[in-house]
Amino acid sequence: AARPSLRRIRARKAPSGRSPKDTKPTRHPAPPPKRRMPRSLAGDLTDPEMAQPYMKKDDDDSDIEYSPFFGIEKGAVLQEARAFHDPQLDARRCSQVITKLLYLINQGESFTKVEATEVFFAVTKLFQSNDAGLRRLVYLMIKELSPSSDEVFIVTSSLMKDMNSKTDMYRANAIRVLCRIIDGNLLTQIERYLKQAIVDKNPVVASAALVSGIHLLQANPEIVKRWSNEVQEAVQSRAALVQFHGLALLHQTRQNDRLAVSKLVSSLTRGSVRSPLAQCLLIRYTSQVIRESSNTQSGDRPFFDYLESCLRHKAEMVILEAARKITEMDVTSRELAPAITVLQLFLSSSKPVLRFAAVRTLNKVAITRPLAVTNCNVDLESLMSDQNRSIATLAITTLLKTGNESSVDRLMKQITSFMSDISDEFKIVVIEAIRSLCLKFPLKYRSMMIFLSNSLREEGGFEYKKAIVDSIVTLIGAIPDAKEIGLLHLCEFIEDCEFTYLSSQILHFLGNEGPRTSDPSRYIRYIYNRVILENPTVRASAVSTLAKFGALVDELKPRIFVLLRRCLFDTDDEVRDRATLYLQTLNGEVAVGNSEKDVKEFLFGSFDVPLANLEASLRTYEPSEEPFDISLVSREARSQPLHDKKAPGKKPPAGAPAPAPVSAVDAYQKMLSSIAEFSGFGRLFKSSEPVELTEAETEYAVNVVKHIYENHVVLQYNCTNTIPEQLLEDVTVYVDATDAEEFSEVCSKPLKSLPYDSPGQIFVAFEKLEHVPAIGKFSNVLKFTVKEVDTSSGEADEDGVEDEYQLEDLEIVSADYMLRVAVSNFRNAWENMDPESERVDEYGLGARESLAEAVSAVTSILGMQPCEVSFQFFKV
């Protein structure tokens, strides 16, 4: 059942002689509860024991709100739980105690094993009460406590008794609880009752049994699949909810069989489904079958006529679901037109939920097919003044995606009056849409730049201001004519910017782009003001920005030196150190390289080593006579593994040392350099992710890691023996390089012994031409000698049998020679790149469902890293 919001009590009574507006209530430090309890669990909120005040004061309202759960402590509630043992049960008091216990559980309060057991046994005694409200709370409490297998038998008999009760409410809830706490053995005992419940005349009982079947399917699929006849009967039920749950369970039992799902859709699309909820579910299954159909590329769409017929259904939810699924498919303009027409009709509906659903769907369509939504622009403009700001925001962003160049100025005027009435979250959506529109119509950059600069002056949070700054930076990079006006807007913003991160980001951007403008001197005043007026972090950024102007603009160098010398007396060490470094190097007092270009590269060149890799290498570096060599640090940017990421809000234990990040390439480099055969190969360029060469759960598990050097490739085969009765000796991998003509095998390092469940490594090295990204396919065969092992004693036979195991083929592709390098300033790196290093080639991506998937395929095929904000547009 749906949970209503928590009812709150408001005390509006003011002292005599004073109006409510003049009342100054006492403030209480307790915050409101994190999660709201349902009204059915809240008990009697007027009870003075449960109603404790907390303070919430609005700008124009000084009312006091009360939380019925303020000040609840676990120990006190456990003491109150003794009321469950009273010979004469007080149903009202017991309900209040269970409500408090459920609140504590929902708030994340942990109960020890002893406490949970005591509460569970006490709650089981409440089955003797016939109070309906108390019984429902008992069901909830048992589900939340989730008793162990040793305790389940205590309530099993009571729940089974309720499952056969004459009260339908008891039967439905008992089925739900029982299926949550039982195991497979007990499920077989009550399977007959569950089958009867599925076809019960009462829709509440039947729906409870079907929902329980959906949950049980995860752990006991074989048992639930035996209910097929009863579930099919439920799909034909007249009750809407029963038909909905029955269809969901029937599909889940067949979801791994594409042919069975296709037959299910084929039988149900003929009109046997009457429930709107079930029909929405059927529409989703139908669209799935259409997507997975092998005939889609030839233009034959099975069941597409059914989706079109649903656009004429009498239920609005069915029409919206059908329209949404059609717009998500790769359809022609003629096939898309009926869905757009239906959505356009809903735009003028009197129901806000229909208007919201329609405009949200059109907003998604406008990303990839804006011309198809153009006919709806008149209706969308009328929604810009809608009282629901979510609808109005979506209407504006849709218009920005579908509007033409002549309508840009009119849209910008309407948006200006609209922005002050929406929250920052909606403002960010509008800003991103404006950025996309400006990239679409670059000649309109002036009006959009003015709008963005005005938005910077308005009140707003960090995320809102960051979205505006990112948009201006993107437009400057994409539209050369917008550079100077955009930089001036950013300079004006940092005069009053209250966010250190944004000020530093803008100063860094000014240092990269400002010296390349027609009049670089105009920005010096704004930058030096930051040295005088801001905090140490911003002052340090401003010093670096000034130094870039001095290094790149010779006319400004004397004036920049004067300003940098003033920074030598700053109160912050970082600011003084930066100023000293720049003065010494730019003046030539400290030799860095052989030319001025080397100095600039040293000070302002792009740092192509990921900081995480540098930190890992520094942590593993052992002090010795050999200095630390940064050239040996891996340049590949790797994402942090999921298991290494910290959970939000979770702190490490006190006193625990901080784990040092270790680069995989550094670990491989250390391992391979210790092997004599590979020690002369030089620096390791890249190591790939492991590639599986065997199926899961086979006799031998083998995967391979490709190590790339300048003129060598080393294949590391990681092998695991999964058979306890076997010992493998003289294990090697025979690699056939017939289809890889550019590679010649140099050496191999076999494995002497491979015991059960003890991983081992086999290495095969190939030579290739230096600096040539050679590609090819390798065939692999695992060869070894098998010896039988006595599992009781662990001894292996002396005699063995030679055997071999066929592995999957392995390919070395172009992406293996690409490092995912994070480039801090892509424009500078691109402009400074040698033109001879450019390569042109063609790749086929195949059929892709979305633009984001196509972009993901590009990065996967090329093995490259998206730079700066260039990848954000493809995520929209």
The predicted pLDDT at position 355 comes to 93
CB 665, CB 636: distance < 8 Å: yes
- pLDDT 10s digits, 75-86: 888 888 888 888
How far apart are the C-alpha atoms of 619 and 638, rounded to whole Å?
Answer: 18
Please compute the mean of the pLDDT values over residues 830-835 and round it to a whole number: 71
User: Which among 778, 766, 731 has a CA at the least distance from the CA of 750?
Assistant: 731
In terms of residues, how long is the chain?
876
CB 400, CB 437: distance < 8 Å: yes
How far apart are the C-alpha atoms of 724 and 731, rounded to whole Å?
Answer: 17
Name the band, by pLDDT with cuts 50, 70 and 90, for residue 335.
confident
Name the band, by pLDDT with cuts 50, 70 and 90, for residue 816.
confident
Query: Residue 52 to residues 33, 63, 94, 437: CA-CA distances in angstroms?
Result: 12, 14, 20, 53
Please compute the mean of the pLDDT values over residues 201-224 and round it to a whole number: 88
Residue 627 pairs with which residues in a beta bridge? none
pLDDT of 358 > 90? The answer is yes
The predicted pLDDT at position 490 comes to 92
Please compute the mean of the pLDDT values over residues 124-138 and round it to a whole number: 87
Give me the phi and psi of 262, to 5 degrees please.
-65, -40
How far apart are the C-alpha atoms of 240 and 235, rounded to whole Å?
Answer: 9
Query: What is the residue-wise DSSP string for 789-851?
Result: B-TTT--B-S--EEEEEE---EEE-GGGG---PPPS-HHHHHHTS-GGG-----------SSH
Query: Residue 360 to residues 172, 342, 762, 863: CA-CA distances in angstroms?
Result: 37, 14, 55, 35
In the numeric block, which tokens belong to residue 846?
Answer: 């195949």
305-309, 416-420, 672-676, range with the lowest pLDDT:
416-420
151-160, 203-212, 607-616, 840-849, range with the lowest pLDDT:
840-849
pLDDT of 714 > 90? The answer is yes
The predicted pLDDT at position 43 comes to 39
User: Which among 619, 651, 612, 660 has a CA at the least distance from the CA of 635?
Assistant: 612
How far apart are the C-alpha atoms of 213 and 224, rounded to whole Å?
Answer: 6
The predicted pLDDT at position 342 comes to 92
Please compute the mean of the pLDDT values over residues 18-40 and round it to a whole number: 41
How far apart are the C-alpha atoms of 50 and 200, rounded to whole Å?
Answer: 40
Does residue 708 or residue 147 have the better pLDDT? 708
- pLDDT 10s digits, 470-519: 999 989 988 888 889 999 999 999 988 889 999 999 999 998 888 888 89
Q: What is the mean pLDDT of the chain?
A: 79
Name the band, by pLDDT with cuts 50, 70 and 90, for residue 529.
very high
Amino acid sitting at position 214: I
pLDDT of 673 > 90? The answer is no
Q: How far is CA 463 from the centre of its chain?
A: 18
Please compute the mean of the pLDDT values over residues 559-577 and round it to a whole number: 91
CB 365, CB 326: distance < 8 Å: no
Name the band, by pLDDT with cuts 50, 70 and 90, for residue 359.
very high
Please compute the mean of the pLDDT values over residues 705-727 and round it to a whole number: 89
pLDDT of 692 > 60? The answer is yes
**Which are the contacts of 818, defined by CB distance < 8 A and separation ≥ 6?**
686, 862, 863, 864
Please compute the mean of the pLDDT values over residues 753-780 and round it to a whole number: 88
How far apart are the C-alpha atoms of 182 and 187, rounded to whole Å?
Answer: 7
Q: What percent of the chain has pLDDT over 70?
A: 83
Query: Residue 565 to residues 533, 534, 556, 733, 753: CA-CA distances in angstroms?
Result: 17, 18, 14, 66, 69
The predicted pLDDT at position 632 comes to 74
Please compute the mean of the pLDDT values over residues 596-616 and round it to a whole number: 69
Query: Residue 794 to residues 588, 727, 797, 819: CA-CA distances in angstroms?
Result: 73, 10, 10, 46
- For 588, left (φ over 0), alpha (ψ -120 to 50), or beta? left
Does residue 567 or residue 630 have the better pLDDT? 567
pLDDT of 357 > 80? The answer is yes
**Which are the contacts of 221, defined by CB distance < 8 A and separation ≥ 6?**
253
The predicted pLDDT at position 539 comes to 93
CB 514, CB 547: distance < 8 Å: no
Give me the phi and psi of 800, to 5 degrees please.
-130, 170
Name the band, by pLDDT with cuts 50, 70 and 90, for residue 150.
low
Give me the phi and psi of 127, to 5 degrees please.
-65, -20
Does residue 324 or residue 36 have the better pLDDT? 324
Name the band, by pLDDT with cuts 50, 70 and 90, for residue 572.
very high
Query: What is the residue-wise DSSP string for 384-411?
Result: GG-SSHHHHHHHHHHHHHH--GGGHHHH
**Angle, to 10 degrees, between the axis of helix 536-552 and the axis of helix 573-586?**
10
pLDDT of 643 > 50? The answer is no
Query: Residue 772 to residues 634, 662, 766: CA-CA distances in angstroms?
Result: 20, 29, 13
Pairing of strands 726-736, 751-754: antiparallel
The predicted pLDDT at position 853 comes to 74
Name the band, by pLDDT with cuts 50, 70 and 90, for residue 636.
low
How far apart are the C-alpha atoms of 108 and 247, rounded to whole Å?
Answer: 35
Q: What percent of the chain has pLDDT over 90?
A: 19
For domain 664-816, the CATH superfamily is: Coatomer, gamma subunit, appendage domain (2.60.40.1480)
pLDDT of 116 > 50? The answer is yes
List the chain domain ranges: 257-331, 499-605, 664-816, 821-875
Does residue 833 or residue 755 have the better pLDDT? 755
The predicted pLDDT at position 61 comes to 47
Please state whether the predicted TM-score (pTM) of the whole model is above 0.85.
no
Whose tokens are 């003033």? That residue is 566
Name the band, by pLDDT with cuts 50, 70 and 90, for residue 59.
very low
The predicted pLDDT at position 638 comes to 55
Please compute the mean of the pLDDT values over residues 452-465 and round it to a whole number: 87
- pLDDT 10s digits, 367-419: 888 888 888 888 888 888 788 888 888 888 888 888 777 777 777 777 777 77
How far apart are the C-alpha atoms of 495 and 473, rounded to whole Å?
Answer: 17
In the numeric block, which tokens belong to residue 26?
Answer: 């006492």
